[in-house]
Amino acid sequence: MSEFPRMTVAVSVATVWTKPESPRPLDELALRNPAEIREWLKRMTLDDKLDLWGGNRIQTQILYGTSVLVVEELEDWVQVLIPQQGTRKEALGYPGWVPRCQLASVPDAPEDSKWADVITTHAWLYRNPSERWIELSYLTSLPVIEETEEWVEVKTPEGSGYLKADEVRLIDSPLAPKLGEDHIGRGIVEEGRRFLDLPYLWGGMSSFGYDCSGFAYNMHRYFGILIPRDASDQAKQGILVDKEQLEPGDLLFFAHEEGKGAVHHVGIYVGDNQMIHSPESIKSIEIVDLSSYKLAKEHCMSRRYWG
C-alpha cells in the first residue's frame, strides 16, 4: 500500500505539467479553478501547441474526480502520481505537477456506491437540476448518491451534484463497466469514431483534445480495459499480433528509423487496412489508409488488449 496521501481533481480537466516552471503566461487559463479548458485551447496558436511538446511542458491530464497520490507540495503546486495511468516512469502512477487550487480532499463516497461514468462526448454537472456548474469530459467518473429516472445525484470533491441520467452509465466501480459487446475490438473503433475531427492536443487525455496514446488509452478504458498511458509503454504489453491477423481494435505502433528506433506513435486498426488515430498538432482525429499513410514504413508492431 502507498503511504502517500490522496487528493482529488477538482476541475473539469487538470493539466499535469513537467515542473512548476513549465506553464507559459498564456497557459494561465488552464491553471485556474475552474479551469477554462475550451478558452485555453481556442487561444493557442499552432506554434503554442507545438511548444507544449517541444518545450517539454505537459506530461498528461486528469479528469474531475480522479484520485491522485500527493508526493510533495511546493508553494502553489503539488507533485502527484496518477495510479490509473500506468507508466515505466514510476511504478505507482504517472508523475507530474498540478496547481494546488485544482485539487481537493477526497470526498467520502457512500459505501458500496455505484459510479456514474459520462458516456456522452461532454456532459454538464449541475449544482441542482436547474443550475449548470462544470462541463465534464467523456469518461469522467463520480460516485452515485441517488438515482431518479431523469437525474443521477453524485458525490463530487465539492459536495453533491447532478448529472443527466441519459448522459451516464452506472457501473459497480471505476473501470468496471458492464460489457455487452460481441466484439470489443469493433466497439473500441466505434467509440473512436465519435471523436473524428477532434483537434490533437499533446498530453491530451480528455474529450477536449487527445494525443495519440491518450486516444488509444481512453477508447480502451470505455470497455474497462486499462492500458499504459504512453505509446512506448503500450507497445510492450498486450498480445503481439501478426499483420495478417489484425482485427479492429488492435493497436498499431510506429517507430523512428523505419520501425527500428523508438516508438513514437500509436493508432487503432479499423479494418480494411485503415487506422483511426490522433495524428499531430496540425491535425485532428482521422481515419487513414495504411498503404498511403506517411508513416507506413515506420509500422513496427501491433498489439491487442481486448482479446
For residue 268, is it within any domain?
Answer: yes
138 and 204 in a single domain? The answer is no
The whole-number pLDDT of residue 181 equals: 66
CATH number at residue 140: 2.30.30.40
**Residue 51: inside a domain:** yes
Which run of H or of E encompasses 232? Answer: helix 231-234
Sorted by sequence, the CB contacts under 8 Å of residue 152 that are 6+ apart come out as: 116, 144, 146, 162, 163, 164, 165, 168, 170
In a domain, 110, yes or no: no
Residue ending a domain, choose from 63, 80, 104 = 104
Answer for the pair 252, 263: CB distance below 8 angstroms, yes or no: no
- The pTM of this model reads 0.96
Are residues 138 and 51 both part of a single domain? no
How many Cβ atoms sit within 10 Å of the Cβ of residue 75?
Answer: 7
Active-site residue 220, yes or no? no
| Count of the separate structural domains present in the chain | 3
- 219-246: burial string, b at 16+ Cβ within 10 Å, e else: bbbbbbbebbbbbbbbbeebeebeeeeb
Q: Is 212 among the residues known to form the active site? A: yes
Domain enclosing residue 132, as ranges:
115-171
46 and 143 together in one domain? no
Residue 109 covered by a domain: no
Displacement of CA 83 from its chain's centroid (Å): 13
Cα-Cα end-to-end distance for the chain: 30
Residues 99 and 121 in one domain: no
Question: Which of 104, 123, 151 lies at the terminal end of a domain, its last residue?
Answer: 104
Q: Residues 245, 265: one domain?
A: yes
* Candidate list 101, 122, 265, 300, residue with the active-site label: 265
Alpha carbons 99 and 265: distance in angstroms, whole number: 29
Domain boundary among the residues 80, 104, 128 is at 104
Considering the domain architecture, whether residues 37 and 85 belong to the same structural domain is answered as yes
**Catalytic: 122?**
no
Residues 243 and 292 in one domain: yes
Asked if residue 200 and residue 291 are part of one domain, the reply reads: yes
Look at residue 178 and tell me if it is in a domain. no
| Active-site entry in 220, 277, 299, 300 | 277
Please tell me whether residues 85 and 152 are part of one structural domain: no
Which pLDDT tens digits describe the chain residue by residue (307 residues)? Answer: 568 999 999 999 999 999 999 999 999 999 999 999 999 999 999 999 999 999 999 999 999 999 999 999 999 999 999 999 999 999 999 999 999 999 999 988 767 789 999 999 999 999 999 999 999 999 999 999 999 999 999 999 999 999 999 999 999 877 666 566 678 999 999 999 999 999 999 999 999 999 999 999 999 999 999 999 999 999 999 999 999 999 999 999 999 999 999 999 999 999 999 999 999 999 999 999 999 999 999 999 999 999 8
CATH number at residue 212: 3.90.1720.10
Transcribe 17-66 into DSSP letters.
ESSTT---GGGGGGGSSS--HHHHHHH--HHHHHHHHHTT-EEEEEETT-
Given the residues 122, 183, 212, 264, select the one marked as catalytic. 212
